Amino acid sequence: MAKKRRTFKQQRIVEVKLTPRGLRLEDLPEGEAGVFVTTSRGVEVECLPIADVIEAQEANIRASVEWPEQPTRIITDVAGSEMEEPLSQKYVESGQATEEQVEAWAGYVEAKAQAEAEFSARLNDGRVKLLAQRGVRWDASLEEEWEKDDEWAGMTVPEDRRERTLHFFRTQVLGNLGDLYRVLFGIYRASGYDEEVLDLMEDSFRSEMGRAGGDEPEDGAGDHGPQPEESLVGRAEVDGD
């Protein structure tokens, strides 16, 4: 007789806790398959091991952005040979830079800021899409009730399966920026990253949350995460009792 697979609800939940110290994940019990988090909206999701895909996505987006070339200046070494050296903010502010170098540096700084803004916007948009598509699973049976609630509130639920999944991920699963980081942290834990890497991630998340307005957002504090417009599917398979 085939062994009956546990449903999503019957699986043990391992929660990511947001503490004053930051994001910490309880140790996964020995022999337990899966890393689960509960978001501030009370939705349980399973984090899947796609850290390598997340890293590849970031590298691809970075490579697709047109980054400006850093301007240079010609210097002469002690032997009298000329060489090219990148301009720097320190040199420009030293008073030794020519007017042309100052203008070139100002143009570079502006172009770099625009490229960084483009990269950040595209990464935020693509990352949430990727998480909704392949990074998490939730109990698909919840979606019927979510759809009824949205329609009752006058909201339109997309028919396209990718947009529908992203819609629910943004409006029903994520409640605040902390939830997004909980999910990412859980994914990296599920992917087998060691404690040293996870500690560095925790510090990075705490820093990002501090810049966003606080280290410990309240449950239901609102949608502060990235708000992309499209997703691919990322749902749990649920067995009957």
Sign of CA dihedral 222, 123, 183, 233: positive
Q: Is residue 235 part of a domain?
A: yes
pTM recorded for the entire structure: 0.69
Cα–Cα–Cα angle for 74, 77, 81, rounded to 5 degrees: 75
Residue carrying the six token digits 């050296």:
85
30 pLDDT above the threshold of 90: no
Identity of the amino acid at 109: V
Strands (E), 57-125: 72-76, 82-86
Neighbours of 177 (CB within 10 A): 22
Q: What is the mean pLDDT of the chain?
A: 77
Neighbours of 9 (CB within 10 A): 12
Q: Is residue 177 part of a domain?
A: yes
The pLDDT value given to residue 172: 94
The pLDDT value given to residue 231: 26
239 pLDDT above the threshold of 60: no
> Mean pLDDT, to the nearest integer, of 49-59?
94
> Mean pLDDT, to the nearest integer, of 210-216?
54
The pLDDT value given to residue 81: 85
DSSP character for 133? I
Are the C-beta atoms of 35 and 46 separated by less than 8 Å? yes
Q: Which residue has the higher pLDDT, 80 or 22?
A: 80
Helix (H) / strand (E) containing 229? none
The pLDDT value given to residue 78: 78
**177-190 vs 51-64: helix crossing angle, rounded to 10:** 120
> Mean pLDDT, to the nearest integer, of 131-153?
93
Helix (H) / strand (E) containing 45? strand 44-47
Q: What is the dihedral of CA 171, 45, 221, 199, to 10 degrees?
A: -130
Are the C-beta atoms of 228 and 129 separated by less than 8 Å? yes
Looking from the CA of 140 toward its CB, the CA atoms found within 13 Å total 12
**Phi–psi pair at 100, nearest 5 degrees:** -65, -40
* Structure tokens that stand for 16 in this block: 């990511």
Query: How many domains does the chain divide into?
Result: 1
Q: Is residue 89 part of a domain?
A: no
pLDDT tens digits along 153-208: 999 999 999 999 999 999 999 999 889 999 999 999 999 988 888 888 888 777 77
Q: Is residue 172 part of a domain?
A: yes
The pLDDT value given to residue 228: 32
**99-130 vs 51-64: helix crossing angle, rounded to 10:** 140
Q: Is residue 107 part of a domain?
A: no
Q: If pLDDT is split at 50, 70 and 90, which confidence band does 124 have? A: very high
Q: Is residue 162 part of a domain?
A: yes
Domain that holds residue 146: 1-66+134-241
Can you give the length of the chain in residues?
Answer: 241
> Mean pLDDT, to the nearest integer, of 111-134?
95
Q: Which residue has the higher pLDDT, 25 or 180?
A: 180
Q: Is residue 101 part of a domain?
A: no
DSSP character for 65? S
Measured in whole angstroms, how far is the alpha carbon of residue 83 from the centre of its chain? 41
Q: Is residue 86 part of a domain?
A: no
Neighbours of 172 (CB within 10 A): 20
> Mean pLDDT, to the nearest integer, of 75-80?
82
